[in-house]
Amino acid sequence: MAAEHTVTIDVNEKYTLTATMQRKIWLWLAVGLILFIAGAFWFVTGFGSEAAHGAGHAAAHGGGGGEHFNPMARVWANLWLNSVFFVGIAVAGVFFLATQYAAKAGWSAIIKRVPEAFGGFLPVGGVIMLVVYFLGHHDLFHWTHTGLYEKGGPEFDAIINGKAPFFYWPLSPEGGFPFFWLLRLVLYFALWFLVYTVIRKASLAEDQLQNRLDFRYYDKQVVWSIVFIVIFAVTSSTSAWDWLLSIDTHWFSTMFGWYVFASWFVSALATITLAVVYLKEQGYLKAVNENHLHDLGKFMFAFSIFWTYVWFCQFLLIYYANIPEETFYFKERLHGLGGVYSPVMIILALINFAFPFLFLMPRDSKRHPIFLKITAFAILVGHYLDFYLMVMPGTAKQYGGFGLMEIGAIILFASLFVWLFYRTLSKAPLIAKNHPMLEESLHHSI
């Protein structure tokens, strides 16, 4: 058994981002960019003929909003969707690291540099989100339209007007510059990245220790991890309201923050698992054995169920209560908007719940890399579709779909994420050699 294996590790092992690998990532980045631009160009220029087709649908199904549709909305929606998804993975990766420190977990000591490297995406993701907001806010967020707040005006909307302070408080007039909303966006990234940097610096300083019984930096990481968890407990919910819930401005769900967190966290766990398995296959992280993979598999299994629980609870409450202003959200997705989004709802239940649940249930499938790779990949696809269902119906309306533009955007963001992940990873040794629980982790056995 694993406990008996003689573990030989090189504590100074570093990931080297080779020129070939870097070229490969840049190539993917270029391919993604070209596909995205080509897809966007195709969609926007070909929109005239599509619109006639779409208008027919809108008339037939009584779906509104088709008459003022700007085809660029789907382009911005794609950028927004992918940046929210990948920022979520990055920040939930840091959150995973923080939970390990707060719980003083030992098993994860040898893989901790992997989620730690996720944080490298945060500043870039923040800049992208700000830019996308300024480019496409009128198409992404219905609440940015000034007319909604003019009392007595033709577009006046009492519900959105009631929510105005949440977007514009305290400096701006309603419908102007959303000071509070943007302040929050900047603040999330600032807080997340700041605390992440403190943890990361302590972690790197720990590597330089001469005396392994010096727990100064470990204690510091524990304290700041708890600080991060407290911050993330609030900001994970509020950021979900800001970035996703406010797309469907009329709708509100008190479970939404929780639900988005579940989706982010399970995606991050799948990404961590994929990264660990791939690094191991490339010859790194030799000390990672099937017991560590088993734990990662259990995490994915458990949080897939957790996501399903939250996702379904939100649906069931609204389904049972049958309040019109709540049910329209699911009506749009299940059979409204020309039925563009109805298959995705079914796919979600299958790929995000049934598949990981049944596939990861046996012990052996959590201990073999090939099963974990398949499930982690399926979970990532499924949760991308989950975010797709949060962003697209409210922005792209009945003109949503899955084409060149979507595929290009995923490739573009994924390769950007992978590139920043590898870059951050290569800056520090792969094993935190002075982690007090390294020995426990090396002999981890379940």
Partner 1 sequence: MADTRLGHTKERFIVGIYDHEDKVVNAVKKLKNDGVKIYEVYSPHPIHHIDTYIGHPRTRIPIAAFLFGALGTLSAITLIIYTMGIDWPMIIGGKNFVAIPTMVPVTFELTVLISALGMVATFLVSNNMGPGKKEFMFDRRTTDDKYALVVDLDANTLGEEQIRDLMVKYGAETDPLPRIVER
Residues within the interface to partner 1 (CB under 8 A): 1, 3-4, 312, 315-316, 319-322, 361-363, 445
Q: Based on CB atoms, which residue is closest to partner 1, 142 or 444?
A: 444
Nearer to partner 1, 168 or 315 (CB): 315
Residue type, 217: Y
Nearest approach in angstroms of CB 357 to partner 1 is: 11
Q: At closest approach, how far in Å is the CB of 196 from partner 1? A: 35
Residue closer to partner 1 by CB (options 218, 315) is 315
Output the smallest distance, CB 3 to partner 1, in A: 6
Do residues 91 and 416 touch, judged by C-beta distance below 8 A? no
| Bridge partners for 429 per DSSP | 14
Nearest approach, Cβ of 270 to partner 1 (angstroms)? 23
Q: Which string of b and e fits 351-383 if b means at least 16 CB within 10 Å?
A: bbbebbeebbeeeebbbebebbbebbebbbebb
Q: Minimum distance from CB of 100 to partner 1 (Å)?
A: 21
Least Å distance between CB 353 and partner 1?
11
Report in angstroms how near the CB of residue 321 gets to partner 1 at its nearest: 8
For residues 285 and 117, give the distance between their C-alpha atoms in angstroms, rounded to a whole number: 15
Q: Contact at 8 Å (CB) between 434 and 206?
A: yes
- Select 292 or 397, whichever has its Cβ closest to partner 1: 292
Which CB atom, from 319 or from 402, has the smaller least distance to partner 1? 319
Q: Which two tokens stand for residue 30?
A: 């270029």
Is the backbone of residue 62 left (phi > 0), alpha (psi -120 to 50) or beta? Answer: left
Our CB check for partner 1 shows the closer of 186 and 323 to be 323
Torsion sign (Cα): 367, 373, 375, 379: positive
Of 52 and 321, nearer to partner 1 (C-beta) is 321
Least separation in angstroms between CB 362 and partner 1: 7
55 vs 317, beta carbon nearer partner 1: 317
Q: Residue 332 has which token pair?
A: 């749009």
